Structures are given as structure tokens and as C-alpha cells.
Amino acid sequence: MDTKQPTEQQRSAAERRRELLEAADRVVLRDGPGASMNAIASEAGITKPILYRHFGDKGGLYRALAKRHTDALLSALRAALDAPAEDRRQRVEATLDTYLAAIEARPQVYRFLMHPAEGVSPAEPTPDSTGDQGFDVGRHSAPLLRRLGEELAQVIAERVDLGPGSEQLARVWGHGIVGMMHAAGDWWLGERPCTREQLVHSLADLLWGRLGEFPDRTGGPRF
């Protein structure tokens, strides 16, 4: 068996894919929604056909980046929920703040994932086979938000005793909270009408009505 270190050509596909995603991240941080496959290929030091070989088209690259960033965001949200806190209200505020801090820290990444490039209509047909124009961001961002909603619903169900019909109620609340965070965060990021702390407090006030009435699940993790 050859025990030599693998050459550049022998590196695993997973490692190569990770490096390409990191190159794509750098371009997205610089160019935001205008990030192109040409620019990403150039940043990675490869040709565009090689980039297509790994991701298929811009939609494939988008989905890979979305999973990468959604995984990181979900990990941060769960950490906020599991961190020591005096009460449930504090956990709610910490979770809201974690989401808003994430989109504030990397606004170009957020805009790439959630908004089409300026001047390109989501319904505009692709002019060639590159998949680099007419990219329907909305079609791809919706599954990202649905995934966040389902994950949050699971967290709510684990931490709060909602009584009869708890699974359905947890899903309604999970998707509703994600929709609220997304819409409010999108507006706030664009206009900055208040501080992040003020927005967190106001959103927590809105959420706190009925959520604060239910008891935590006995013996389970607290929300």
C-alpha cells in the first residue's frame, strides 16, 4: 500500500469541494448578490467548467453555500438556546440576537442567499448555458427558510410543554418565528431604523404573549 501523502490530484472530493466553497465565500463577501461563477472560478484558481463539474450550475453552488451557512446558523442558535439563562425570555432574546448578529456580521452573504443580483429579474430566462444569469434566488431561498422553521419547531417542541396538538402548534410557531425574524431582519438590515438591541427587545415583546404562558417540559431542556 502506498503510504505517501496524497498529491494535489489525489485529494478527496470533499476536501476540494470545501476549498471551492471557501473561495466562493470570499467572492460573496466582496461582491454580494453580484457574485458570478467567473469570479468564483478565478478566486479558486480554476476554470469555470471545473467549477460546474463540482456544483453543476450556480443553483448547485447556491444550495451548497446555503447548507454551509444554515448549518452554522443553526449551530449558533442551538448554542444560544442551551446557554445558561435566568429565564425563558432571556433565551428568546438571545436566540433573536444570534440570528440578527449573524446577518449583521456578513450582510453580503445574507444578500447573496436571500436576494437576486440587482438588475436581474428572478423570472428572467437564462441567456446561455452557464446558469450565471437569471438565477431564481427565491426558488432556492424558500427551502432554506423552511429548514430553519422545521428546526426551530423541533427545538420548541423539545423545550416547551404545549399540551394537546403540541407538534402542530410547535411547527406553526417555528415557521412563524422564522418568518418574523427573516422579514424584520431584512427590513432592519436595509434601513437600520433602530439598534439591534432595540429590535431584539421589540420582537421578544411580540413573541412573549402566549409563549410565556406554557410550562417547560418536566425533566427536559429549558427554553
Q: What is the mean pLDDT of each run of 10 residues along the chain (223 residues)?
A: 54 84 94 90 93 88 88 88 79 92 93 68 40 52 86 86 88 93 95 96 84 62 54
The pLDDT assigned to 161 comes to 82
- Supply the pLDDT for residue 180: 94
Q: What is the CATH number of the domain that holds 105?
A: 1.10.357
Runs of H (alpha helix) within the chain: 13-31, 37-44, 48-55, 58-82, 88-105, 107-114, 137-159, 166-191, 196-211
Q: Is there a domain that residue 32 lies in?
A: no
Q: Looking at the domain assignment, is residue 115 inside a domain? A: yes
Q: Which pLDDT score, from 0 to 100, does residue 206 have?
A: 87
What pLDDT was estimated at residue 14? 82
pLDDT recorded at residue 216: 67
Q: Provide the number of structural domains found in the chain.
A: 1
pLDDT number for residue 129: 41
Instruction: For residue 216, list its beta bridge partners.
Output: 160
Q: What is the pLDDT of residue 149?
A: 92
- pLDDT for 140: 61
Nearest-5° angle of CA 57, CA 70, CA 104? 105
What's the domain range around 121? Answer: 63-211
The predicted pLDDT at position 164 comes to 87
In a domain, 27, yes or no: no
Chain segment 141-152, per-residue pLDDT in tens: 788 889 889 988
Domain assignment present for residue 206? The answer is: yes
Evaluate whether residue 148 is within a structural domain. yes
- Would you say residue 24 lies in a domain? no
CB environment 33-69: b (16+ within 10 A), e (fewer): bbbbbebbbebbebebeebbebbebbeebbebbbebb
Residues 35, 39: Cα–Cα separation, whole Å: 7
pTM for this prediction: 0.75
